[in-house]
Chain A
């Protein structure tokens, strides 16, 4: 499978714990995006990388959230001191510069904070 992969697919954690998600983009894609989606809503942009550079961050991305893409390939999204409001589906997508609006999404990581 050469699509975007995300791990884990599901994560249940207790409030206050830290969690980390991984995204592996399509190998030749230089752009990588993170989104959060809650039930009945569209994906909300969190941040995106071009190669290893983090170019944009949403105001939704509080100080408890951090994303990295150290070698311009896979990316991690860490949430520190999780809160119940962090419960959501976290989606990763990748694209190539010049592909217009087309992004390829992974299946997501569903986070449940108890």
Chain B
């Protein structure tokens, strides 16, 4: 079956520092790799995605890196802010849609 794994369940960073959230996956046949953010009591919110034929994609304060050789995906958040505190999920598309178990990011003021 498919699997998506996250290396660390929790991450604490100082406000203003950069955050890196990692994700490992097992299925190579995916079109897109995606990062979602979920705040307490809300549905997941799309952050950024990357197509499988790309290695890097940048958004506003976020960068996603895809290493298909080692099947690893990461999300980098620059200048982390208190509003970034949430659970972050990696996900990927196949015939279905798969989410990891999540990393809880806490930003310390």
Contacts and interface: CB of A to CB of B under 8 A. Distances in A.
Contacts of A85: none
B101 A48 contact: no
Interface of A: 4, 33, 35, 40-45, 48, 56, 58, 91, 93, 100-108
Lowest 5 CB-CB distances: which A-B pairs, in order?
A: A105-B43, A42-B99, A101-B34, A101-B32, A101-B49
Q: Secondary structure at chain A's binding surface: helix, strand, loop or mixed?
A: loop
Interface size class of B (residues with CB under 8 A): 20 to 34
Contacts of A91: 43-44
B96 interface: yes
B25 to A, nearest CB: 12
A91 B43 CA distance: 7
A101 B33 contact: yes
Q: Secondary structure at chain B's binding surface: helix, strand, loop or mixed?
A: strand
A92 B41 CA distance: 14
Contacts of A93: 43-44
B30 to A, nearest CB: 9
Contacts of B93: 101
B99 A103 contact: no
A58 B44 CA distance: 20
Interface string B84-99: 0000010111011111
